[in-house]
Chains A and B, each alone.
Chain A
Amino acid sequence: MSSRSGDELIELLLAGEVSPEEEGEAANDLLREVFRGYPAQNLGRLIHSDSIKAVANGAFVVSELGAQAAPIIGEVDFLLSHPLREARFDALDAALTAASVEHGAILAKAVMLVADTDQAVRLKALNFLANSTPDQLTAAVPYLKDRHVADLATWLASAGSDPASLPDIRSRLRAPDKVTRMFAAAAAARVAGTSRRGLEDAAVSDDPDIHRFAARVIKMMERRRQTRAEQEQRRRDQGL
Chain B
Amino acid sequence: MTSAGLTVPSGDPAALRQLAAQLRTAAQGSGNLGTNTSELTGAITSDAQWTGSASNSFSSFSANLSTGTSAAEAPLTRIAVAVENYANVLDVAQQKAQTANAIFQAAQDDPTGSMISTAEQYGQSAMDALDALQQAGDQAAQQVGSAADDLQVGSLFGAHGPVTSWAGGQPALGTYSLWQPGDPVPGQTETIPLDDGLGLGPESIPADDGLGPWIETIPADDGLGLGTETIPVDDGLGPPIETIPVGPQGPLVNYDSDLPILDGSGKLHMPVREDPLPSYVPADWTREDLEQVESDLKDSIDKRQEEMVDLGEDTPRGPAHRARINQEIRLLRQVQKKLSGS
Contact of B295 among A97, A228, A240 (CB under 8 A): A228
Q: Decide if B274 touches A127 in the complex (CB within 8 Å).
A: no
Q: A119-B17, A223-B299, A227-B294 in contact; A21/B319 too (CB < 8 A)?
A: yes
Residues 62-89 of A, flagged 1 when their CB comes within 8 A of B and 0 if not, give 0111111000000000000000111001
Residues of A21-76 at the interface with B, using a CB-CB cut-off of 8 Å, are 21, 23-25, 27-28, 31-32, 35-36, 52-53, 55-57, 59-61, 63-68
Q: Decide if A204 touches B96 in the complex (CB within 8 Å).
A: yes
Chain B residue at minimum C-beta to C-beta distance from A224: B295
Q: Decide if A20 touches B318 in the complex (CB within 8 Å).
A: yes
Cα–Cα, bound, A194→B323 (Å):
36
How near does chain B come to A232, taking the closest CB pair, in angstroms?
Answer: 10
Residues of A176-234 at the interface with B, using a CB-CB cut-off of 8 Å, are 200, 203-204, 206, 208, 211-212, 215-216, 218-220, 222-225, 227-228, 231, 234
Q: Decide if A86 touches B316 in the complex (CB within 8 Å).
A: yes
How near does chain B come to A50, taking the closest CB pair, in angstroms?
Answer: 13
Q: Decide if B263 touches A55 in the complex (CB within 8 Å).
A: no
Interface centre among B17, B88, B264, B291 (most CB of A within 10 A): B264
Contact of A215 among B17, B99, B105 (CB under 8 A): B99
Chain A interface size band reads: 35 or more
Q: Decide if B319 touches A20 in the complex (CB within 8 Å).
A: yes
**A-chain residues with CB within 8 Å of residue B298 when the two chains form the complex:** 223, 227
Q: Decide if A36 touches B125 in the complex (CB within 8 Å).
A: no
Task: Indicate whether A156 reaches chain B with its CB closer than 8 angstroms.
Answer: no
Q: Decide if A64 touches B324 in the complex (CB within 8 Å).
A: yes
Q: A35-B276, A56-B315, A219-B99 in contact; A97/B299 too (CB < 8 A)?
A: no
Task: Indicate whether A96 reaches chain B with its CB closer than 8 angstroms.
Answer: yes
Q: Decide if A127 touches B99 in the complex (CB within 8 Å).
A: no
How near does chain B come to A58, taking the closest CB pair, in angstroms?
Answer: 10
**A-chain residues with CB within 8 Å of residue B341 when the two chains form the complex:** 238
Task: In the complex, identify which listed stretch (B45-53, B177-185, B197-205, B265-273) lies at the interface while the others stay far away.
Answer: B265-273
**B-chain residues with CB within 8 Å of residue A55 when the two chains form the complex:** 316
Task: Indicate whether A123 reaches chain B with its CB closer than 8 angstroms.
Answer: yes
**A-chain residues with CB within 8 Å of residue B125 when the two chains form the complex:** 204
Chain B residue at minimum C-beta to C-beta distance from A132: B264
Q: Decide if B316 touches A212 in the complex (CB within 8 Å).
A: no
Q: A28-B324, A93-B265, A231-B294 in contact; A222/B106 too (CB < 8 A)?
A: yes
Residues of B299-316 at the interface with A, using a CB-CB cut-off of 8 Å, are 299, 302-303, 306-307, 310-311, 315-316
Chain A residue at minimum C-beta to C-beta distance from B88: A208
Chain B interface SS verdict (over half)? helix
Task: Indicate whether A120 reaches chain B with its CB closer than 8 angstroms.
Answer: yes
Contact of A97 among B106, B222, B263, B340 (CB under 8 A): B263
**B-chain residues with CB within 8 Å of residue A218 when the two chains form the complex:** 99, 102-103
Task: Please report the total number of B residues contacting A with Cβ < 8 Å.
Answer: 58
How near does chain A come to B92, taking the closest CB pair, in angstroms?
Answer: 6
Chain A residue at minimum C-beta to C-beta distance from B323: A24
Contact of B96 among A84, A211, A216 (CB under 8 A): A211
**A-chain residues with CB within 8 Å of residue B263 when the two chains form the complex:** 66-67, 96-97
Cα–Cα, bound, A60→B276 (Å):
12
Q: Decide if B274 touches A35 in the complex (CB within 8 Å).
A: yes
Q: Decide if A84 touches B316 in the complex (CB within 8 Å).
A: yes
Cα–Cα, bound, A129→B273 (Å):
28
Task: Indicate whether B330 reaches chain A with its CB closer than 8 angstroms.
Answer: no
How near does chain A come to B304, taking the closest CB pair, in angstroms?
Answer: 11
**B-chain residues with CB within 8 Å of residue A238 when the two chains form the complex:** 341
How near does chain B come to A121, taking the closest CB pair, in angstroms?
Answer: 9
**B-chain residues with CB within 8 Å of residue A28 when the two chains form the complex:** 276, 320, 323-324, 327
How near does chain B come to A201, taking the closest CB pair, in angstroms?
Answer: 10
**A-chain residues with CB within 8 Å of residue B273 when the two chains form the complex:** 35
Q: Decide if A90 touches B276 in the complex (CB within 8 Å).
A: no
How near does chain A come to B336, taking the closest CB pair, in angstroms?
Answer: 9
Q: Decide if B265 touches A127 in the complex (CB within 8 Å).
A: yes
How near does chain B come to A93, taking the closest CB pair, in angstroms?
Answer: 4
How near does chain B come to A91, taking the closest CB pair, in angstroms?
Answer: 11
How near does chain B come to A40, taking the closest CB pair, in angstroms?
Answer: 13
How near does chain B come to A222, taking the closest CB pair, in angstroms?
Answer: 5
Give residues in A with beta carbon < 8 Å to B. Answer: 1, 20-21, 23-25, 27-28, 31-32, 35-36, 52-53, 55-57, 59-61, 63-68, 84-86, 89-90, 93, 96-97, 119-120, 123-124, 127, 131-132, 200, 203-204, 206, 208, 211-212, 215-216, 218-220, 222-225, 227-228, 231, 234, 238, 240
Extra contacts besides A64-B269, A65-B269, A204-B122 (10): CB < 8 Å: A20-B318, A23-B319, A57-B316, A66-B269, A96-B265, A120-B14, A203-B99, A203-B122, A204-B121, A238-B341
22 pairs across A/B with beta carbons < 8 Å?
A1-B279, A24-B321, A27-B319, A28-B276, A28-B320, A28-B323, A28-B327, A63-B265, A64-B267, A64-B324, A66-B269, A67-B272, A93-B265, A96-B264, A203-B122, A204-B121, A206-B92, A208-B91, A212-B91, A220-B266, A220-B302, A234-B340
